[in-house]
Amino acid sequence: MPMTITEKILARHAGRDEVRPGELISARVDAVLANDITAPLAIREFFKIGVSDVFDADRVILVPDHFVPNKDIKSAEQAKMVRDFAREQHLTNYFEVGRMGIEHCLLPEQGLVVPGDVVIGADSHTCTYGALGAFATGVGSTDLAAAMATGEIWFKVPESLKFVYEGELPRWVGGKDLILYTIGDIGVEGALYKAMEFTGPVIENLSMDGRFTMCNMAIEAGAKNGIIPPDDRTAFYVRGRAKRPFTFYHSDPEATYARVYHYDVSKLEPQVAFPHSPANTRGVSEAGDIPVDQVVIGSCTNGRLEDLRVAAQILEGRQVHRNVRMIVIPGTQKIYREAMAEGLIATFIEAGAAVSTPTCGPCLGGHMGILAAGERAIATTNRNFVGRMGHPESEVYLSGPAVAAASAITGRITHPDEVI
């Protein structure tokens, strides 16, 4: 039976020749991930199961990244629980402050997720790893506890949606704009419990950083997973960093999809998602005169080196508007070091931005940039629901790094061409 890439990966991990959408299967997992918010609950549930050891100390990965460096006593206690569990279980892959990164930037960088994997994480943006040609999805902390003990988890095999992007990307348009435009088209439930398979010439030419961004936000359309068929660009990225052997899977030409979408992006302009939904998107030229109080560049969506390069290109020799707070957060320590070596960090500081150690921080309204009532931010993060970055009466607009950086200079939502 012809199968999609998602179906093939799940079939292999279920020990079967084929699977069909709607079937319930039990699949082995290649990696199990949790952070300082979701791991404590999973750890408590793990011990309730009655087992003493995780199924594989190399495959359970703990990354404190949400409230770190710890913002208060409660977050410090949660981080300590994660740290103690990692030590007791002799986990190979526990990443402490100073050596960590935002989890979904860190794992691909470290070669801990590879093509063909099944990866689960107690964080909804685990779908990021689909950019490598892996099946990756978020689960609850209790499901994660069971997987930490057994190395398996159950799934309902999702139907697949195919998205074909054609044409040539205009200047300043990248992966963030493609996924915002797509979510704006299909809505936040447009891919509910389905696999979003991103294909076409535009995807083939898209950087790995851009691919990670697209798969990261599949969950914002309700998807079970986002996935991009691996190719030479994928191979170049994983070789030399992969910690395990990997397998490239591809959809069969005759595979069945619930629906196929075609987009010609040649005239697409940078996108902005207005409050309070990632689907409330429009081109930046339609934004109107909207002043901003804060700009955030970072997160698991756009905290990679390519994102920082784009922002620095726009900020070079310019100043952040006097009424704007700009916060830049590299996704990992390695990205931070690379940005320093390229002079990007100096560019940000000289422009008047604050640069932070890796953390999720303001993205989830955690710390390092909380909004007060009536304040407005434009951010390269992934969600802009009511109260997402602070007070319920604040507003968050989502964009790529180019629009965010240009807006920091003018003090209002701005097309990059206006300042370049």
Contact 178, 261 (CB under 8 A): no
Q: What is the structure's pLDDT at 264?
A: 98
Q: What is the structure's pLDDT at 51?
A: 92
Specify if 175 maps to a domain: yes
In angstroms, the CA 54 to CA 150 distance is 8
Contact 330, 302 (CB under 8 A): no
Nearest Cα to 314, choosing from 419, 188, 387?
419
Specify if 93 maps to a domain: yes
In angstroms, the CA 391 to CA 375 distance is 8
The answer to whether residues 182 and 35 belong to one domain is yes
Specify if 240 maps to a domain: yes
Parallel/antiparallel/unpaired status of strands 225-227 and 152-156: unpaired
Q: What is the structure's pLDDT at 39?
A: 97
Q: What is the structure's pLDDT at 393?
A: 97
Amino acid letter, 4: T
The answer to whether residues 205 and 148 belong to one domain is yes
Q: What is the structure's pLDDT at 242?
A: 95
Q: What is the structure's pLDDT at 350?
A: 98
The answer to whether residues 203 and 291 belong to one domain is no
Q: Which tokens hold the place of 82?
A: 């994660």
Q: Which tokens hold the place of 173?
A: 């348009």
Q: What is the structure's pLDDT at 263?
A: 98
Which residues of the chain fall short of a pLDDT of 70? none
Amino acid letter, 127: C
Sheet containing 225-227: give its strands across: 225-227, 194-199, 159-166, 259-264
Specify if 26 maps to a domain: yes
Q: Domain range holding 374?
A: 272-418
In angstroms, the CA 272 to CA 283 distance is 6
Specify if 267 maps to a domain: no
Q: Which tokens hold the place of 33?
A: 């991930």
The answer to whether residues 198 and 230 belong to one domain is yes
H helices of 217-260, in order, are 232-238
Q: Which of 209, 244, 262 is the last residue of a domain?
A: 262
The answer to whether residues 191 and 45 belong to one domain is yes
The answer to whether residues 197 and 112 belong to one domain is yes
The answer to whether residues 71 and 178 belong to one domain is yes
Parallel/antiparallel/unpaired status of strands 31-35 and 93-94: unpaired
**pLDDT digits over 198-246, tens only?**
999 999 999 999 999 999 999 999 999 999 999 999 999 999 899 999 9
Parallel/antiparallel/unpaired status of strands 194-199 and 225-227: parallel
The answer to whether residues 103 and 154 belong to one domain is yes
160 DSSP β-pair partners: 195
The answer to whether residues 220 and 329 belong to one domain is no
Specify if 164 maps to a domain: yes
The domain tally of the chain equals 2
Q: Which of 262, 296, 331 is the last residue of a domain?
A: 262
Give how far the C-alpha of residue 216 lies from the chain's centroid of Cα atoms, to the nearest Å. 3
Strand ranges for 66-117 from DSSP E? 93-94
Q: Three-state SS for 28? A: strand
The number of beta carbons lying within 10 Å of the beta carbon of residue 168 is 12
Specify if 123 maps to a domain: yes
Output the domain CATH number for residue 404.
3.30.499.10
Parallel/antiparallel/unpaired status of strands 271-273 and 93-94: unpaired
**pLDDT digits over 295-305, tens only?**
999 999 999 99
Kindly report whether the peptide bond that precedes residue 108 is cis, defined as omega within 30 degrees of 0.
Answer: no
Distances (CA, A) of 278 to 98, 169, 248, 338: 32, 21, 31, 30
Q: What is the structure's pLDDT at 111?
A: 97
Specify if 144 maps to a domain: yes
Contact 36, 68 (CB under 8 A): yes
The answer to whether residues 122 and 243 belong to one domain is yes
The answer to whether residues 128 and 250 belong to one domain is yes
Q: Which of 262, 288, 322 is the last residue of a domain?
A: 262
The answer to whether residues 243 and 361 belong to one domain is no
Nearest Cα to 233, choosing from 254, 204, 260?
204
Euclidean distance between the first and final Cα of the chain, in Å? 53
